[in-house]
Amino acid sequence: MPATLNSDSNRNPALALTDVLRRRRAVPVDEVARLCAKLPALLDAEADAHDSPLVSALEVAWLEGRAGSTPTGGDWVARSIHEWPEFCLRWREDAGGTETVGVSTIMDFAGATHGSAPARLAMLVYELIGGHRRAVAGHAISPVAALNEAGNDVVARAVRGGFADCRGFWRAWEGAMAGQIAERGRRGGGVPGRELRIPRWLLDRAQPGDVLRLEPGDLSTHPPVRLVARAQFRLGRSRSQSDFPVRAGVAGQQDSESSKQLSRVHACAEATAAGLALRDGDGEKPSTNGSTFNDAALDPTQPMALTGTGVLTFGAAGAGYRLQVVPLPGRRLSDARIANLADWGGAPSDAAPLHAEHGAVIFEPLDGQPVLLNAVWLFSEICCEVTPSGELVWSREEQLGPLAFLYRHGCFWLANLRLTSTAVRLDEGVLESGCIAPLTSGQTLEIGAARFAVSVG
């Protein structure tokens, strides 16, 4: 996925977006969605960095060590973006130039939209899907057949200056085009960037569930791991009622008196059609001493939108239990298909994930508070790696980690994306790179030095 817009002093060969358009003339909407997925946030952060149109200002470069050839090698220009290895978009060294795709000179937006990041991003989308700058007159934009009516309206509104930032435009455009993007995927419109396979000896394994538990071996000093794939995620003192049990303490040691100030369920997070949200207490009854998110009080009945990383505090500000809430990227593996899914003994499902924008949310105690459970709120995917001591560490990076836990078809899966063929074992079998395993109760999972007993409920 696109990772950065910063220039690289050691610039490797790259592929210009203008070259893609010269060869293909139009890019399908699902490929545009993958190509530009990370651009909105990056453009909002660097809105004034460049003034030239994005289609001529950006180029594609493979991330270090992700491909055996450069973007200019082979026939990458004509291939589906879903086939590309992990890549980033970066500014071209000559981004201030006026290169076009042979359709017209660079147009000037009138009034307040001149050079605005949302308008420029909208024009990038418009050109990638086959629109032409000459079809834009003033603030009017000619509809294109590749977009539905709602999608065309969103692009036109952005060109007229109707969005304050790129992320607002992107959410509206993806929402308008969601059905069309999904339909192309069902019809095989996009070639998947990764093809995973279930080992033959695991084809008969299937166990639907919404909680995955990984219990470390007796010699481990690390906490158990729990992945919860439910619409509500609870945090509090109770081990039985909370998905993320908490205890107050100092330097990793529990303090029973301080912990009594925490409610059995002190706060909860919810995934709804409107997005992610936080509530105080269990969503109906308030907690004993209240809770805040980024110093704003939570209410048990009125949800507060969870749109990014922040600090959740139980109790009085400055004296309460604090933990960081971190939504992690999603859609990094949405284009990966399981090649032999038809041979699997489970029941494939087309059900959408609980939340599309993020793959998971992690919770990290602050101020040296003890960690009882390494619990994750999982929607679709979370990447990780294992330290030499056997600890699972969740990846916050935009690019993929070596391993990924996924939730698909109502089941939990583990994908080996790039570890060596002997690094991951499930029972007595090896999970090779490029393979994906359905996880079921009773299995023993070994990743490097880590050993876990698997259970699904």
How do residues 303-314 score in pLDDT, each as one tens digit?
A: 999 989 999 999
CA-based nearest residue to 232, from 190, 281, 272, 285: 272
Residues found in the chain:
457
Single out the residue of 205, 245, 207 nearest to residue 226, CA to CA.
245
Model confidence at 259, pLDDT cuts 50, 70, 90, reads low
Decide the pairing of beta strands 392-394 and 403-408. unpaired
Task: Please say whether the beta carbons of 393 and 386 come within 8 A.
Answer: yes
Is residue 115 packed enough to be buried (19+ CB in 10 Å), middle (13-18) or exposed (0-12)?
middle
Output the six-digit token pair for 199. 């080992």
- 376: Cα within 13 Å, side-chain hemisphere: 30
The highest-confidence range among 51-65, 147-161, 197-211, 234-248, by mean pLDDT, is 197-211
Q: Which of 13-22, 223-232, 346-355 has the least mean pLDDT?
A: 13-22
Task: Tell me which amino acid residue 441 is.
Answer: S
Cα separation, 150 vs 162, whole angstroms: 14
How confident is residue 343, by pLDDT bands cut at 50, 70 and 90?
very high
E strand segments, 255-338: 267-272, 275-280, 291-293, 296-297, 304-305, 310-314, 321-329, 337-338
What's CA 236's distance to the chain center, in Å? 26
End-to-end CA distance of the chain: 33
The predicted pLDDT at position 20 comes to 77
User: Can you read off the two tokens belonging to residue 262?
Assistant: 């925490």
Per-residue pLDDT tens over the stretch 132-181: 655 454 556 778 888 888 889 999 899 888 898 888 998 889 888 877 66
Looking at this protein, which amino acid is placed at residue 346? Answer: G
Would you say the C-alpha torsion 23, 29, 33, 36 has a positive or negative sign?
positive
Contact 22, 91 (CB under 8 A): no
* DSSP strand pairing (296-297 vs 291-293): antiparallel
User: Which residue in 124, 177, 171 sits closest to 152, CA to CA?
Assistant: 177
Return the higher-pLDDT residue of 192 and 62: 62
Instruction: Annotate 12-39 with b (16+ C-beta within 10 A) or e (fewer).
Output: eebbbbbbbbeebebbbbbbbbbbbbbb
182: confidence class by pLDDT, cuts 50, 70, 90: low
Single pTM value for the model: 0.59
Give, in degrees to the nearest 5, the angle at Cα 12 between 7 and 15.
Answer: 85
CB 275 within 8 A of CB 305: yes
Band of the pLDDT at 243, cuts 50, 70, 90? very high
Question: Do 129 and 32 form a contact (C-beta atoms < 8 A)?
Answer: yes
E strand residue ranges, 170-287: 195-196, 211-216, 225-228, 232-236, 244-245, 249-250, 253-254, 267-272, 275-280
Counting residues of the chain whose pLDDT is more than 90, the rounded percentage is 32
Q: 298-302: long-range contacts (C-beta < 8 A, 24 or more apart)?
A: 298/267
CA distance linking residue 341 with residue 186, whole number of Å: 14
What confidence tier does 104 reach under pLDDT thresholds 50, 70, 90?
Answer: very low
Distance, in Å, from the CA atom of 233 to the CA atom of 213, rounded to the nearest integer, reads 15
Is 251's pLDDT higher than 80? no
Q: How many helices (H) and strands (E) does the chain have?
A: 8, 31
On whether the CB atoms of residues 66 and 87 are closer than 8 A, the answer is yes
Q: What pLDDT score does 1 carry?
A: 40
Q: Are 29 and 129 in contact (CB under 8 A)?
A: yes
Calculate mean pLDDT across residues 352-377. 88
Please state which of the ranges 7-11, 255-259, 338-342 shows the lowest mean pLDDT.
7-11
The pLDDT, as a whole number, for residue 249 is: 57
